[in-house]
Amino acid sequence: MTRLTPDEIDRSEALFAPLAQSLRELVDVTIRSEADDADVRRAHALIEQATELLGSRLAPEPFSMRATTDGRTLTWGNVLIGKRNAIAPPLLVERDADGRATADLTLGAPYEGPSGQVHGGVCALILDHVLSATAHRRDAPAFTGTLTLRYVAPTPLGPVRAEAWTDREERGKTFAVGRLLDADGVVTVQAEGVFIRPRAKS
Amino acid sequence: MTRLTPDEIDRSEALFAPLAQSLRELVDVTIRSEADDADVRRAHALIEQATELLGSRLAPEPFSMRATTDGRTLTWGNVLIGKRNAIAPPLLVERDADGRATADLTLGAPYEGPSGQVHGGVCALILDHVLSATAHRRDAPAFTGTLTLRYVAPTPLGPVRAEAWTDREERGKTFAVGRLLDADGVVTVQAEGVFIRPRAKS
Protein backbone atom coordinates (compact mmCIF):
# COMPACT_ATOMS: atom_id res chain seq x y z
CA MET A 1 0.00 0.00 0.00
CA THR A 2 1.30 3.47 -0.90
CA ARG A 3 2.21 5.40 2.25
CA LEU A 4 2.02 9.18 2.06
CA THR A 5 3.76 11.70 4.32
CA PRO A 6 1.71 14.56 5.81
CA ASP A 7 3.37 16.94 3.28
CA GLU A 8 2.43 14.73 0.36
CA ILE A 9 -1.14 14.55 1.66
CA ASP A 10 -1.41 18.34 1.87
CA ARG A 11 0.05 18.86 -1.59
CA SER A 12 -2.15 16.21 -3.18
CA GLU A 13 -5.26 17.52 -1.47
CA ALA A 14 -4.52 21.09 -2.60
CA LEU A 15 -4.47 19.82 -6.21
CA PHE A 16 -7.28 17.30 -6.17
CA ALA A 17 -9.93 18.78 -3.86
CA PRO A 18 -10.58 21.80 -6.14
CA LEU A 19 -10.54 19.50 -9.19
CA ALA A 20 -13.18 17.25 -7.56
CA GLN A 21 -15.23 20.36 -6.77
CA SER A 22 -15.12 21.37 -10.46
CA LEU A 23 -16.10 17.83 -11.34
CA ARG A 24 -19.21 18.13 -9.12
CA GLU A 25 -20.28 21.14 -11.23
CA LEU A 26 -19.66 19.14 -14.40
CA VAL A 27 -21.85 16.28 -13.07
CA ASP A 28 -24.61 18.82 -12.39
CA VAL A 29 -24.52 20.60 -15.77
CA THR A 30 -24.37 17.24 -17.58
CA ILE A 31 -27.84 16.54 -16.19
CA ARG A 32 -29.28 19.99 -16.91
CA SER A 33 -27.50 20.89 -20.15
CA GLU A 34 -29.38 21.88 -23.30
CA ALA A 35 -26.21 22.78 -25.20
CA ASP A 36 -25.85 22.40 -28.98
CA ASP A 37 -24.84 18.96 -30.24
CA ALA A 38 -21.44 20.26 -31.35
CA ASP A 39 -20.70 21.67 -27.88
CA VAL A 40 -21.77 18.40 -26.25
CA ARG A 41 -19.39 16.47 -28.51
CA ARG A 42 -16.52 18.86 -27.73
CA ALA A 43 -17.25 18.56 -23.99
CA HIS A 44 -17.23 14.76 -24.29
CA ALA A 45 -13.80 14.85 -25.96
CA LEU A 46 -12.45 17.12 -23.19
CA ILE A 47 -13.74 14.69 -20.53
CA GLU A 48 -11.92 11.82 -22.25
CA GLN A 49 -8.70 13.88 -22.43
CA ALA A 50 -8.95 14.68 -18.70
CA THR A 51 -9.47 10.97 -17.91
CA GLU A 52 -6.40 10.07 -19.95
CA LEU A 53 -4.23 12.63 -18.15
CA LEU A 54 -5.38 11.60 -14.66
CA GLY A 55 -5.28 7.92 -15.55
CA SER A 56 -1.68 8.14 -16.79
CA ARG A 57 -0.61 6.94 -13.33
CA LEU A 58 -3.09 5.19 -11.04
CA ALA A 59 -2.74 3.87 -7.50
CA PRO A 60 -1.68 0.21 -7.75
CA GLU A 61 -4.16 -1.02 -5.12
CA PRO A 62 -7.59 -1.63 -6.63
CA PHE A 63 -9.46 0.92 -4.57
CA SER A 64 -9.17 4.20 -2.87
CA MET A 65 -7.93 3.85 0.69
CA ARG A 66 -4.43 5.16 1.28
CA ALA A 67 -2.29 4.82 4.36
CA THR A 68 -0.22 7.66 5.78
CA THR A 69 3.27 7.39 7.26
CA ASP A 70 1.77 8.10 10.69
CA GLY A 71 -0.53 5.10 10.46
CA ARG A 72 -3.82 6.79 9.59
CA THR A 73 -5.96 6.02 6.59
CA LEU A 74 -7.25 8.67 4.23
CA THR A 75 -10.89 8.89 3.25
CA TRP A 76 -10.37 10.74 -0.05
CA GLY A 77 -12.49 8.23 -1.92
CA ASN A 78 -15.40 7.94 0.53
CA VAL A 79 -18.71 8.23 -1.28
CA LEU A 80 -20.06 10.76 1.20
CA ILE A 81 -17.13 12.61 2.77
CA GLY A 82 -14.34 12.01 0.22
CA LYS A 83 -12.64 15.23 -0.91
CA ARG A 84 -11.55 13.50 -4.13
CA ASN A 85 -14.91 11.85 -4.76
CA ALA A 86 -17.23 13.92 -6.99
CA ILE A 87 -20.20 11.83 -5.81
CA ALA A 88 -19.64 13.13 -2.26
CA PRO A 89 -21.41 16.48 -1.63
CA PRO A 90 -18.96 16.29 0.42
CA LEU A 91 -20.49 15.84 3.85
CA LEU A 92 -18.77 17.50 6.80
CA VAL A 93 -19.94 16.11 10.13
CA GLU A 94 -19.52 18.34 13.19
CA ARG A 95 -19.63 16.92 16.69
CA ASP A 96 -20.32 18.97 19.80
CA ALA A 97 -19.09 18.28 23.34
CA ASP A 98 -22.10 16.04 24.05
CA GLY A 99 -21.29 13.84 21.07
CA ARG A 100 -24.21 15.15 19.01
CA ALA A 101 -23.40 14.93 15.28
CA THR A 102 -24.67 17.50 12.78
CA ALA A 103 -24.17 17.99 9.06
CA ASP A 104 -25.44 20.84 6.90
CA LEU A 105 -25.32 20.37 3.17
CA THR A 106 -27.02 21.36 -0.07
CA LEU A 107 -28.32 18.69 -2.41
CA GLY A 108 -28.91 19.67 -6.04
CA ALA A 109 -30.09 17.92 -9.21
CA PRO A 110 -27.61 14.99 -8.97
CA TYR A 111 -29.31 13.70 -5.79
CA GLU A 112 -32.85 13.70 -7.17
CA GLY A 113 -35.35 10.83 -6.89
CA PRO A 114 -39.00 11.96 -7.29
CA SER A 115 -39.31 15.25 -9.21
CA GLY A 116 -37.74 18.08 -7.19
CA GLN A 117 -37.11 15.82 -4.20
CA VAL A 118 -34.05 14.15 -2.69
CA HIS A 119 -34.04 10.38 -3.40
CA GLY A 120 -35.17 8.48 -0.29
CA GLY A 121 -32.06 6.32 -0.55
CA VAL A 122 -29.82 9.41 -0.46
CA CYS A 123 -31.55 10.41 2.79
CA ALA A 124 -30.71 6.91 4.06
CA LEU A 125 -27.08 7.25 2.95
CA ILE A 126 -26.66 10.56 4.79
CA LEU A 127 -28.44 9.40 7.96
CA ASP A 128 -26.45 6.14 8.06
CA HIS A 129 -23.27 8.20 8.05
CA VAL A 130 -24.32 10.86 10.56
CA LEU A 131 -25.83 8.33 13.00
CA SER A 132 -22.70 6.18 12.79
CA ALA A 133 -20.57 9.25 13.57
CA THR A 134 -22.01 9.22 17.11
CA ALA A 135 -20.50 5.74 17.57
CA HIS A 136 -17.05 6.26 16.05
CA ARG A 137 -14.07 6.42 18.40
CA ARG A 138 -10.53 7.31 17.33
CA ASP A 139 -9.01 4.15 15.84
CA ALA A 140 -12.25 2.24 16.54
CA PRO A 141 -14.62 2.73 13.62
CA ALA A 142 -18.20 1.55 14.08
CA PHE A 143 -20.13 -0.54 11.59
CA THR A 144 -23.86 -0.35 10.97
CA GLY A 145 -25.77 -3.27 12.48
CA THR A 146 -29.33 -2.19 11.73
CA LEU A 147 -30.81 1.03 10.39
CA THR A 148 -34.51 1.95 10.34
CA LEU A 149 -35.83 4.94 8.44
CA ARG A 150 -39.28 6.47 8.63
CA TYR A 151 -40.14 8.89 5.82
CA VAL A 152 -42.60 11.41 7.22
CA ALA A 153 -42.51 14.11 4.51
CA PRO A 154 -40.87 14.68 1.11
CA THR A 155 -37.36 16.19 1.27
CA PRO A 156 -37.12 19.03 -1.29
CA LEU A 157 -33.81 19.45 -3.14
CA GLY A 158 -31.80 22.30 -1.62
CA PRO A 159 -30.30 22.85 1.82
CA VAL A 160 -30.83 20.03 4.35
CA ARG A 161 -29.57 19.30 7.86
CA ALA A 162 -28.91 15.89 9.39
CA GLU A 163 -28.70 15.48 13.17
CA ALA A 164 -27.95 12.44 15.33
CA TRP A 165 -27.25 11.62 18.93
CA THR A 166 -26.69 8.59 21.14
CA ASP A 167 -29.71 7.12 22.87
CA ARG A 168 -27.70 4.55 24.86
CA GLU A 169 -24.56 2.37 24.78
CA GLU A 170 -24.42 -1.33 25.62
CA ARG A 171 -21.34 -3.55 25.43
CA GLY A 172 -19.77 -2.07 22.29
CA LYS A 173 -23.12 -1.25 20.70
CA THR A 174 -24.28 2.31 20.21
CA PHE A 175 -28.03 2.90 19.84
CA ALA A 176 -28.29 6.15 17.88
CA VAL A 177 -31.25 8.22 16.75
CA GLY A 178 -31.43 11.06 14.29
CA ARG A 179 -33.40 12.92 11.68
CA LEU A 180 -33.21 14.86 8.44
CA LEU A 181 -34.66 18.38 8.23
CA ASP A 182 -35.47 20.53 5.20
CA ALA A 183 -34.56 24.21 4.70
CA ASP A 184 -37.57 25.27 6.84
CA GLY A 185 -36.56 23.02 9.73
CA VAL A 186 -39.34 20.50 9.00
CA VAL A 187 -38.39 16.91 9.89
CA THR A 188 -38.67 14.79 6.72
CA VAL A 189 -37.01 11.51 7.78
CA GLN A 190 -36.58 9.92 11.22
CA ALA A 191 -33.88 7.31 11.79
CA GLU A 192 -32.63 4.93 14.41
CA GLY A 193 -29.69 2.59 14.18
CA VAL A 194 -27.50 0.16 16.07
CA PHE A 195 -23.77 0.56 15.46
CA ILE A 196 -21.17 -1.99 16.45
CA ARG A 197 -17.50 -1.44 17.29
CA PRO A 198 -15.52 -4.64 16.73
CA ARG A 199 -13.60 -5.62 19.90
CA ALA A 200 -10.01 -4.35 19.94
CA LYS A 201 -7.45 -7.09 19.27
CA SER A 202 -5.68 -7.93 22.54
CA MET B 1 -41.49 22.86 -18.28
CA THR B 2 -39.64 21.92 -21.47
CA ARG B 3 -41.55 19.21 -23.33
CA LEU B 4 -39.51 16.89 -25.52
CA THR B 5 -40.76 14.76 -28.43
CA PRO B 6 -39.74 11.06 -28.57
CA ASP B 7 -37.26 11.95 -31.37
CA GLU B 8 -35.66 14.70 -29.30
CA ILE B 9 -35.38 12.28 -26.38
CA ASP B 10 -33.62 9.66 -28.49
CA ARG B 11 -31.20 12.18 -29.99
CA SER B 12 -30.39 13.75 -26.64
CA GLU B 13 -29.88 10.39 -24.99
CA ALA B 14 -27.58 9.23 -27.80
CA LEU B 15 -25.38 12.26 -27.11
CA PHE B 16 -25.51 12.46 -23.33
CA ALA B 17 -25.60 8.83 -22.15
CA PRO B 18 -22.08 8.06 -23.52
CA LEU B 19 -20.83 11.39 -22.15
CA ALA B 20 -22.15 10.50 -18.67
CA GLN B 21 -20.47 7.10 -18.98
CA SER B 22 -17.13 8.80 -19.74
CA LEU B 23 -17.76 11.07 -16.77
CA ARG B 24 -18.15 8.02 -14.49
CA GLU B 25 -14.64 6.94 -15.54
CA LEU B 26 -13.35 10.43 -14.81
CA VAL B 27 -14.92 10.34 -11.31
CA ASP B 28 -13.15 7.02 -10.71
CA VAL B 29 -9.67 8.05 -11.91
CA THR B 30 -9.93 11.34 -9.98
CA ILE B 31 -10.01 9.25 -6.80
CA ARG B 32 -7.22 6.85 -7.80
CA SER B 33 -4.92 9.15 -9.80
CA GLU B 34 -1.25 9.59 -8.97
CA ALA B 35 -0.56 11.72 -12.04
CA ASP B 36 2.08 14.47 -12.13
CA ASP B 37 1.04 17.87 -10.80
CA ALA B 38 1.19 19.39 -14.30
CA ASP B 39 -1.13 16.73 -15.71
CA VAL B 40 -3.57 17.22 -12.82
CA ARG B 41 -3.67 20.98 -13.54
CA ARG B 42 -4.24 20.37 -17.25
CA ALA B 43 -7.03 17.90 -16.45
CA HIS B 44 -8.64 20.45 -14.11
CA ALA B 45 -8.61 23.08 -16.89
CA LEU B 46 -10.22 20.60 -19.33
CA ILE B 47 -12.98 19.85 -16.78
CA GLU B 48 -13.71 23.57 -16.46
CA GLN B 49 -13.85 23.95 -20.25
CA ALA B 50 -16.29 21.03 -20.51
CA THR B 51 -18.49 22.59 -17.82
CA GLU B 52 -18.51 25.89 -19.68
CA LEU B 53 -19.54 24.22 -22.96
CA LEU B 54 -22.33 22.16 -21.37
CA GLY B 55 -23.44 25.05 -19.18
CA SER B 56 -23.76 27.41 -22.16
CA ARG B 57 -27.46 26.54 -22.22
CA LEU B 58 -29.15 25.03 -19.17
CA ALA B 59 -32.70 23.81 -18.57
CA PRO B 60 -34.69 26.75 -17.16
CA GLU B 61 -36.38 24.71 -14.43
CA PRO B 62 -34.18 24.36 -11.37
CA PHE B 63 -33.80 20.61 -11.44
CA SER B 64 -33.67 17.63 -13.69
CA MET B 65 -37.11 16.26 -14.41
CA ARG B 66 -38.31 16.77 -17.98
CA ALA B 67 -41.71 16.09 -19.41
CA THR B 68 -42.27 14.46 -22.79
CA THR B 69 -44.90 15.39 -25.36
CA ASP B 70 -46.70 12.10 -24.59
CA GLY B 71 -47.05 13.00 -20.93
CA ARG B 72 -44.30 10.91 -19.38
CA THR B 73 -41.45 12.22 -17.26
CA LEU B 74 -37.83 11.40 -17.92
CA THR B 75 -35.55 10.13 -15.19
CA TRP B 76 -32.28 11.27 -16.77
CA GLY B 77 -31.17 12.95 -13.57
CA ASN B 78 -32.13 10.22 -11.08
CA VAL B 79 -29.26 9.56 -8.67
CA LEU B 80 -29.47 5.79 -9.15
CA ILE B 81 -30.97 5.10 -12.60
CA GLY B 82 -30.33 8.40 -14.43
CA LYS B 83 -28.56 7.90 -17.76
CA ARG B 84 -27.29 11.50 -17.59
CA ASN B 85 -26.27 11.30 -13.93
CA ALA B 86 -22.62 10.28 -13.41
CA ILE B 87 -23.39 9.42 -9.78
CA ALA B 88 -25.78 6.70 -10.99
CA PRO B 89 -23.99 3.36 -11.65
CA PRO B 90 -26.63 3.39 -13.44
CA LEU B 91 -28.95 0.81 -11.94
CA LEU B 92 -31.16 -1.22 -14.28
CA VAL B 93 -33.99 -2.98 -12.46
CA GLU B 94 -35.49 -6.04 -14.15
CA ARG B 95 -38.88 -7.38 -13.13
CA ASP B 96 -40.06 -10.90 -13.83
CA ALA B 97 -43.67 -12.08 -14.34
CA ASP B 98 -44.13 -12.58 -10.58
CA GLY B 99 -43.14 -8.96 -9.88
CA ARG B 100 -39.77 -9.91 -8.42
CA ALA B 101 -37.26 -7.08 -8.96
CA THR B 102 -33.56 -7.75 -9.58
CA ALA B 103 -30.60 -5.51 -10.32
CA ASP B 104 -27.04 -6.56 -11.11
CA LEU B 105 -24.37 -3.90 -10.94
CA THR B 106 -20.68 -3.35 -10.25
CA LEU B 107 -19.61 -0.86 -7.60
CA GLY B 108 -16.06 0.50 -7.79
CA ALA B 109 -13.95 2.98 -5.81
CA PRO B 110 -16.52 5.83 -5.95
CA TYR B 111 -18.97 3.85 -3.77
CA GLU B 112 -16.50 3.02 -0.99
CA GLY B 113 -17.13 3.42 2.74
CA PRO B 114 -14.87 1.21 4.89
CA SER B 115 -11.66 0.18 3.10
CA GLY B 116 -12.48 -2.05 0.13
CA GLN B 117 -16.17 -2.20 1.06
CA VAL B 118 -19.34 -0.62 -0.29
CA HIS B 119 -20.62 2.17 2.02
CA GLY B 120 -23.53 0.88 4.10
CA GLY B 121 -25.57 3.88 3.00
CA VAL B 122 -25.04 2.99 -0.67
CA CYS B 123 -26.42 -0.48 0.11
CA ALA B 124 -29.44 1.31 1.63
CA LEU B 125 -29.82 3.55 -1.46
CA ILE B 126 -29.84 0.55 -3.82
CA LEU B 127 -32.19 -1.54 -1.65
CA ASP B 128 -34.61 1.37 -1.22
CA HIS B 129 -34.86 1.63 -4.99
CA VAL B 130 -35.15 -2.09 -5.77
CA LEU B 131 -37.70 -2.73 -3.00
CA SER B 132 -39.77 0.25 -4.12
CA ALA B 133 -39.73 -1.12 -7.69
CA THR B 134 -41.95 -3.99 -6.50
CA ALA B 135 -44.58 -1.40 -5.51
CA HIS B 136 -44.50 0.91 -8.57
CA ARG B 137 -47.42 0.77 -10.99
CA ARG B 138 -47.53 2.59 -14.33
CA ASP B 139 -48.49 6.21 -13.59
CA ALA B 140 -48.68 5.39 -9.85
CA PRO B 141 -45.23 5.76 -8.34
CA ALA B 142 -44.77 4.48 -4.80
CA PHE B 143 -43.06 6.39 -2.01
CA THR B 144 -41.03 4.86 0.79
CA GLY B 145 -42.88 4.82 4.12
CA THR B 146 -40.40 2.90 6.24
CA LEU B 147 -37.22 1.01 5.40
CA THR B 148 -35.30 -1.31 7.73
CA LEU B 149 -31.85 -2.63 6.91
CA ARG B 150 -29.93 -5.36 8.67
CA TYR B 151 -26.23 -5.53 7.82
CA VAL B 152 -25.16 -9.16 8.22
CA ALA B 153 -21.77 -9.12 6.44
CA PRO B 154 -19.45 -6.58 4.77
CA THR B 155 -20.21 -5.93 1.08
CA PRO B 156 -16.91 -6.00 -0.88
CA LEU B 157 -16.55 -3.52 -3.76
CA GLY B 158 -17.16 -5.27 -7.09
CA PRO B 159 -20.20 -7.02 -8.57
CA VAL B 160 -23.33 -7.09 -6.41
CA ARG B 161 -26.92 -8.18 -6.91
CA ALA B 162 -30.03 -6.71 -5.30
CA GLU B 163 -33.29 -8.68 -5.15
CA ALA B 164 -36.73 -7.76 -3.85
CA TRP B 165 -40.24 -9.14 -3.86
CA THR B 166 -43.63 -8.34 -2.39
CA ASP B 167 -44.52 -9.95 0.90
CA ARG B 168 -48.11 -8.62 0.93
CA GLU B 169 -50.31 -5.70 -0.17
CA GLU B 170 -52.81 -3.85 2.01
CA ARG B 171 -54.92 -0.88 0.96
CA GLY B 172 -52.36 0.88 -1.24
CA LYS B 173 -49.41 -0.25 0.89
CA THR B 174 -46.85 -2.70 -0.41
CA PHE B 175 -44.82 -4.65 2.17
CA ALA B 176 -41.62 -5.58 0.34
CA VAL B 177 -38.58 -7.59 1.37
CA GLY B 178 -35.21 -7.93 -0.27
CA ARG B 179 -31.50 -8.43 0.09
CA LEU B 180 -28.10 -7.54 -1.28
CA LEU B 181 -25.68 -10.30 -2.33
CA ASP B 182 -21.95 -10.15 -3.05
CA ALA B 183 -20.14 -11.70 -6.05
CA ASP B 184 -20.12 -15.12 -4.31
CA GLY B 185 -23.88 -15.01 -3.68
CA VAL B 186 -23.45 -14.34 0.04
CA VAL B 187 -26.24 -12.21 1.53
CA THR B 188 -24.67 -9.06 3.02
CA VAL B 189 -27.72 -6.87 3.76
CA GLN B 190 -31.36 -7.81 4.43
CA ALA B 191 -34.09 -5.23 3.94
CA GLU B 192 -37.79 -4.76 4.46
CA GLY B 193 -39.87 -1.75 3.59
CA VAL B 194 -43.37 -0.36 3.40
CA PHE B 195 -44.16 1.57 0.22
CA ILE B 196 -47.17 3.78 -0.25
CA ARG B 197 -49.00 4.69 -3.45
CA PRO B 198 -50.86 7.98 -3.05
CA ARG B 199 -54.56 7.58 -3.93
CA ALA B 200 -55.36 8.55 -7.53
CA LYS B 201 -57.13 11.90 -7.82
CA SER B 202 -60.78 11.28 -8.70
| Helix/strand number for chain B, H first, E second | 3, 9
Q: Which residues of chain A have pLDDT under 70?
A: 1-2, 60-68, 71-72, 200-202
B154 phi/psi in degrees, rounded to 5: -65, 150
Among A34, A109, A113, beta carbon nearest to B57: A34
Q: How far apart are CA B198 and CA B202, in angstroms?
A: 12
Q: Which residue of B has its CA nearest to A108?
A: B63
Average pLDDT rounded to a whole number, residues B145-157: 97
| DSSP 8-class letter at B65 | -
Q: What type of residue sits at position B58?
A: L
State yes or no: pLDDT of B61 exceeds 60.
yes
Q: What type of residue sits at position A29?
A: V
The answer to whether A34 contacts B73, with C-beta atoms less than 8 Å apart, is no
Cis peptide before B90 (omega within 30 of 0): yes
pLDDT at B75: 85
Cis peptide before A156 (omega within 30 of 0): no
Average pLDDT rounded to a whole number, residues B175-198: 96
pLDDT at A184: 97
Chain B: closest CA distance from residue A182 (Å): 17
State yes or no: pLDDT of B62 exceeds 70.
no
HSE-up of A76 (CA within 13 Å, CB side)?
31
Average pLDDT rounded to a whole number, residues B91-100: 91
Q: A20 with B86: CB under 8 angstroms?
A: no
Report residue B196's pLDDT band, with 50, 70 and 90 as the boundaries: very high
Q: What is the pLDDT of residues B119-137, one digit of tens each?
A: 999 999 999 999 999 988 7
The answer to whether B86 contacts A22, with C-beta atoms less than 8 Å apart, is no
Q: Which helix (H) or strand (E) holds B181?
A: strand B173-181
pLDDT at A202: 45
What residues in B contact A119, CB-CB < 8 Å?
Answer: 78-80, 125, 128-129
Q: Which residue of A has its CA nearest to B192?
A: A148
pLDDT at A7: 86
Report residue B14's pLDDT band, with 50, 70 and 90 as the boundaries: very high
Q: A176 with A132: CB under 8 angstroms?
A: yes
Cis peptide before B18 (omega within 30 of 0): no
Average pLDDT rounded to a whole number, residues B1-12: 79
Domains detected in chain B? 1-88 (no CATH), 91-196 (3.10.129.10)
Cβ count within 10 A of residue B106: 11
Share of chain B above pLDDT 90, in %: 72
**Best A31, A128, A144, A148 residue to mutate vs chain B (most B CBs within 10 Å):** A31
Mean pLDDT of chain A: 90
State yes or no: pLDDT of B32 exceeds 80.
yes
Sign of CA dihedral A132, B112, B190, B163: positive
| DSSP 8-class letter at B8 | H
Q: How far apart are CA B198 and CA B169, in angstroms?
A: 14
| Maximal CA-CA distance, chain A | 63
The answer to whether A50 contacts B46, with C-beta atoms less than 8 Å apart, is yes
Q: By C-alpha distance, which of A106, A114, A110, A121 is closest to A183?
A: A106
